[in-house]
Structure 1
Amino acid sequence: MEEMTCMIQCENITKKYALYSRKVDRLLEAMRPGGRSYHKDFYALQGITFSMHKGECVGIVGKNGSGKSTLLKILTGVLTPTEGSVHVQGRVSALLELGAGFNPEYTGYENIYLNGSIMGYSREEMQRKLPEIIEFADIGDFINQPVKIYSSGMFVRLAFAVAISVDPEILIIDEALAVGDVFFQLKCYKKIEDFKKQGKTILFVSHDQSSIIKYCDRAILLDKGRMVCDGAPKEVIDEYKQILAVEKQQNQPHSEEAMPEEERESICWKTQYALNEKILEYGDRQAEITDFGIFDESGNLATIYNRNSVYTIKMKVLFHAEIQNPIYAITFKDMSGLEVAGTNTMQENVDTGTVKPGQTVTVSFQQKFPFQNYPLFLSLGCTKFDGQGELRVLHRLYDVLCIQTLGAKITNGFFDIDSKVRIAQQ
């Protein structure tokens, strides 16, 4: 068997910074070498050891401040480790901080040549690559404008197009794709798939856990500058979720499990989510959806969703008028507005009774999340039929929350149909 080529080798990488409480302390320490220390040591990385071989795609995950970006900067030569050694073999193309390597006063065209020269390419070589870069970036006439007027999305489009055009042997990406629109992200991930097929080595940081599971052969988890684990993406993500859960529990003044039921129910669920700032809501407000959340099988508020696991969507509805047989509804839509799934209490043949003014009703919808790795938007509603049989909207919240399930298996369409395949040979 042919021995795999080692492209990146890190041995005991440590990055230490000196932190000073006052500006003058730096000067005092410099004037007294070997004397009193006026600083505290901060370790951005401590003892990181790992290797990557040709053709591997490795993801790095961890909370903000865990050392992910510092590690990538060391690998690309932007930073020098305090201790340890780094060996990188092959041409590296890196997409680190947004706009890094770009002159804001130059046009897109000029920055293409500037980035090419930084990576060792002549103007003639970049001239040949120009049509491919412009086509992939797809920013129209803005290619002729100074990049200082670019949106973050235009920045990343151009930067990614340049990074992949130089035919790197190692591609390093630091969270940059998160600022692009979803269709550009799809285009980028298709390019990453192509690079993998070509046997190129890819290392990237992403908070999109589904992408780590889907595209990476391995994943590395960092926490507070230390390596927690290096292994199969699904196992590493599970470990990461445990770290997040423990941190969240520590930050709460009391454990939810230890609270009385009344106090636990008083927690505002929706504050735990990144909600849609441009939410569409309307209705006559005879009833009002005051809170909502998604809960796992243990009854804990969930913000990460595993495909085909069971979750309960809850919403609290405060009534300002007496309503007979209110209808409660949930709907999932994709980015184009297509309704992918949904139900309501009338379709489920649930008798909701009569609700008095001042009453709050908590409605629960329990079901599996069989969705594929697509962003889906949750909408909530409360309606009723009036005396003429017309549907009246009391309160609706459209596209209030985005969910995305995690799952290693890739199938077609919106749902994992959980097919069981058998093959019998005659």
Structure 2
Amino acid sequence: MNKTSSDYAIDVRNVTKIYKLYDKPIDRLKESLSPVHKNYHRDFYALNGISFHVKKGESVGIIGTNGSGKSTILKIITGVLTPTSGEAKVDGVISALLELGAGFNMDYTGIENIYMNGTMMGFSRKEMEGKLQDILDFADIGDFVYQPVKTYSSGMFVRLAFALAINVEPEILIVDEALSVGDVFFQSKCYRRMEEIRKNGTTILMVTHDMGSIIKYCDKAVLLNKGEFVAEGAPGRIVDLYKKILAGRMDSLEEDLAKMNDFSGEEALEEENLLENKSFQAEAGKHQGLMKDKITINANRTEYGDGRAEIVDLGLVDAKGSLTNLLLKGEMFTIKEKIQFHADIQAPIFTYTIKDKKGTDLSGTNTMFEGTDIKPVKAGDIYEVSFTQKMTLQGGEYLLSMSCTGFENGEHVVYHRLYDVANITVISNKNTVGVYDMESQVEAVLTPNK
């Protein structure tokens, strides 16, 4: 069934945004005064022919690497920017939270900014008075609402801005990364509120680097890369494509896009589900080529050892069997190491460690701790070792180290060690307190007051 324009809250058609880049400020003047209209600039395509639509009541996430054009398209949709060509049609009243400071007067108090923004959105002062208490309760910044917002911390600012944006009964809510400033509890509160207004028919368009939120809250995701439209579809599938861009696996990405374009409608969904169900068995067994070429490896890693062993390949494999640096919290994953020996060694030990960005060891193990039966090796032998476990770390960025070591005459010997060889990005749709999740099973029993 074909959708008409009235079914869409947002309809983006062939939007292109070009910026003129000049090497020197004087070149702009030269170009404007040139009698033969000589160009002194080069064109930069922030967006190039982007098209997608958002149905009314739908929740859509836009994802992509930095510089892919996500914020630019939101600014065009909200009218902050004008496209070079194409158009973005909007059917409904927009409440947008694009960036800290947008739409706020820094010298006004929080209360004054609430009324000012309400007026800009078409509400009368009396209407805003009716919404004021809900906004203040949600923001929960106390007496700071009576202080100029230039005195606010970034956390207080986003609390007030989001409370205002989400409590004016918007037909369309647009959010661009602003929630990343707030603490985890406020973020959770915001997502619950977004879920409430979505059920009441509000259309939501969000840009975020939190893939867990995209998967959990969105009906659809749109993937952009370097100003180009890549794909749109089920959030889980689009996040998988995004992971391949992050890992630099463009050939694999193009293969997946070709498969997606071979099908449509229900056939595409059935094919996608079939591929997902078979992916672990198909991919986990045998990866052609080097695993480390299909993930992001730290070019500035530290490595040392006496050279009697060498870690010649390594990989991170997710629950679907894909090589990737992005792992979902709560799912199984595997760390793979391939070690080649250049000398006879009686009892090698294989290890891995995961650290946070500050260098604190968070988790790790080795074949000695695990009681693995490791045989003596001779020069030329190769060991392939897999550590499989459940990802319970909170969403965030981590660093992976690994080594091949041993004990000789009571002394610890390092044959080859790779410090911070790869990053691990954990995607989570539920972060608890601390470094990792205890995975509590919660039971709450209410006894009503009779």
Q: TM-score, normalised by structure 2?
A: 0.64
Q: CA deviation at 1:123?
A: 1.6
Show the 5 A alignment for 1:14-413: 14-32=16-34, 34-246=36-248, 257=290, 296-297=316-317, 303-306=325-328, 307-312=330-335, 348=370, 366-369=387-390, 371=392, 404-405=426-427
Q: Name the SS for the 1:72 alignment partner.
A: helix
Take 1:407 and 1:30, find their aligned partners in 2: how far apart are those partners?
A: 51
- Measured in 2, the distance between the counterparts of 1:379 and 1:246 equals 19
Alpha-carbon distance in 2 for matches of 1:403, 1:21: 37
Partner SS state of residue 117, structure 1:
helix
Q: Give 1:93's aligned amino acid.
A: S
Larger deviation, residues 153-162 vs 192-201: 192-201
| Distance (whole Å) between structure 2 residues aligned to residue 96 and residue 72 of structure 1 | 8
Distance 2:158 2:189 in 1: 12
Match of 2:269 in 1: none
Contact 2:244 2:250 in 1 (8 A): no
User: Residue 390 of structure 1 aligns with which residue?
Assistant: none
Could you list the per-position Cα deviations for residues 31-89 of structure 1 after superposition, in whole angstroms to 9, with x for gaps in the alignment?
12652111111111010111111111110001111110010000000011110112100
**Unmatched segments (≥5 aa) in structure 1:** 250-255, 260-264, 272-293, 315-325, 334-338, 353-363, 381-400, 418-426
Structure 1 residues 183 and 22, CA gap change in structure 2 (3 angstroms): same
- Matched letter for residue 388 of structure 2: Q
Label 1:76 to 1:180 Cα distance change in 2 as closer, same or farther (>3 A): same
Q: How far off is 1:312 after superposition?
A: 3.1
After superposition, the Cα gap between the structure-2 partners of 1:19 and 1:247, relative to the gap in structure 1 and judged at 3 Å, is: farther
TM-score (norm 1): 0.67
**Contact preservation (8 Å) 1:99, 1:156:** no
- CA change 1:159–1:24 in 2 (3 A) is same
Is the Cα–Cα contact under 8 Å of residues 374 and 414 in structure 1 kept in the other structure? no
Paired residues of 2:60 and 2:220 also in contact (CA < 8 A): yes
**8 Å contact kept, 1:370–1:415:** no
Q: Within 2, Cα distance between the matches of 1:243 and 1:51?
A: 23
Given that residues 370 and 416 in structure 1 are in contact (C-alpha distance below 8 angstroms), is that contact kept between their aligned partners in structure 2?
A: no
CA distance in 2, matches of 1:123, 1:24: 48
Residue of structure 2 equivalent to 1:423: none
Distance 1:416 1:5, change over 3 A: farther
* Unaligned stretches of 5+ residues in structure 2: 252-288, 304-313, 338-348, 357-361, 375-384, 402-422, 431-436, 442-450
In structure 1, what is the Cα distance between the partners aligned to 2:227 and 2:213?
A: 23
Contact 1:269 1:301 survives alignment (8 Å): no
Q: Which amino acid aligns with 1:311?
A: T
Q: 1:46 to 1:24 in 2, by over 3 A?
A: same
- Output the amino acid matched with 1:99: G
Q: Percent identity?
A: 50
- Give yes or no for contact 2:395–2:428 (8 Å, CA) kept in 1: no
Q: Distance in 1 between matches of 2:166 and 2:206?
A: 14
Q: Structure 1 runs of 4+ off > 3 angstroms?
A: 1-4, 256-259, 265-271, 297-303, 328-333, 341-352, 370-380, 401-408, 413-417
Read off the aligned partner of 2:316 and give its amino acid letter: D
* Counterparts in 2 of 1:247 and 1:42: CA distance versus 1, 3 Å: farther
> d(CA) in 1 for partners of 2:102 and 2:250?
33
Structure 1 contact 14–44 (Cα < 8 Å) conserved: yes
Distance 1:17 1:378, change over 3 A: closer
1:296 corresponds to which letter in structure 2? L
Question: In the superposition, relative to structure 1, how do residues 148 and 43 fare at CA in structure 2: closer, same or farther (>3 Å)?
Answer: same
Q: Which amino acid aligns with 1:45?
A: L
**One-letter code of the match for 2:390?**
F
Distance apart, 1:313 and its partner CA: 9.4
- Are residues 266 and 224 of structure 1, via their aligned partners in 2, closer, same or farther at CA, if it must alter by over 3 Å? closer
- Give distance in 2, aligned partners of 1:149 and 1:127: 24
Amino acid at match of 1:117: T
Alpha-carbon offset, residue 25 of structure 1: 1.1
Post-superposition Cα deviations, 1:216-235, rounded to whole Å, max 9, x if no partner, equal: 11101111111011111111
Distance 1:66 1:226 in 2: 7
RMSD, matched Cα? 4.6
Contact 2:316 2:336 in 1 (8 A): no
